[in-house]
Amino acid sequence: MSDTEPIGPATCVLVSGGSRGLGLTIVRSVLDKGAKVAAFARTVTPGMTELAETYPDRVFVGSVDATDAAAATRFIKDAAAHLGPIDALVNNAAIGQDSLHVHTSPERIDAIISTNLTAPLVLTRAVLRHIMSRGGRGRVVNVTSICAQRGYAGLVAYSATKGGLDAATRALAREMHGRVLVNSVAPGFFASEMSSVLGPNQLDTITRRTPSGRLVEPANVVPVVEMLLFADTNVNGQVIVLDGGGGI
């Protein structure tokens, strides 16, 4: 197949951080689209277990610390043995931040960077090597954040990791020369996300200043992730912001 031909829809998607919230919603949406899905998280939740038991031939789940490169590589190998070749990745696993930069310990900064930036870069490398080893083509979707583009107090290290992942998205899209489509989805604040940092008053302020008048929900993000995984759009190297127009 020529690299100039369209890349087909994903058939087997690996989702990191697929235990709950947006990650679990993405896992379910991949199944609804008829594809297979491998999902890992630090803790396998009842929701993941239920899907694996309901769709034993289409779902593979496991407990993996995203920062453990060896464990992540083993998971890819085991998932491919169970489901067949993986041809898409959704980097969703991340941890938040709830402190001003001057009050954030070096150890916490390192943990945020390791989980939110180093781990997805290493996982992406492993999945790309898996795809290329069989002469395949594929898709990568990075879940980042509006924090990469707009400043919010208490989220300095978190914002830096998401900005770094957006930059990596653009560079990797060029590096793959059309063999793999690489894009980011950058949601605004979820109603339940990072509220401990912003507090209800700040969340209310953000909501009032958002032209759509509401915060982002996982249901708003999933259709865009589905498009990037399954549709022939020729979208590549882009960061798609989903924040109700708050950034305009």
Question: Among candidates 70, 63, 67, 65, which has minimal Cα distance to 161?
Answer: 67
Token digits for 243?
């924040």
- CA–CA distance, 6 with 206 (Å, rounded to integer): 39
DSSP 235: -
Structure tokens at 237: 């190297």
Q: What values do phi and psi take at 126, rounded to 5?
A: -65, -40
Nearest CA-CA partner of 26 in 126, 118, 95, 93: 93
Main-chain phi, psi angles of 102, to 5 degrees: -70, -15
CB 95 within 8 A of CB 17: no
Which of 40, 158, 189, 190 is an active site residue? 158
What phi and psi values does residue 15 have, to the nearest 5 degrees? Answer: -120, 120
Q: Identify which of 41, 143, 45, 157 has the alpha carbon closest to the alpha carbon of residue 96.
A: 157
User: Could you identify the residue written with the tokens 């978190």?
Assistant: 158
Tally of CB atoms within 10 A around 158: 25
Collapsing DSSP to helix, strand or coil, 163 comes out as helix
158 is catalytic: yes
Burial readout 70-91 (b: 16 or more C-beta within 10 A, e: otherwise): eebbebbeebbeebeebbbbbb
Which sequence positions are flagged as catalytic? 158
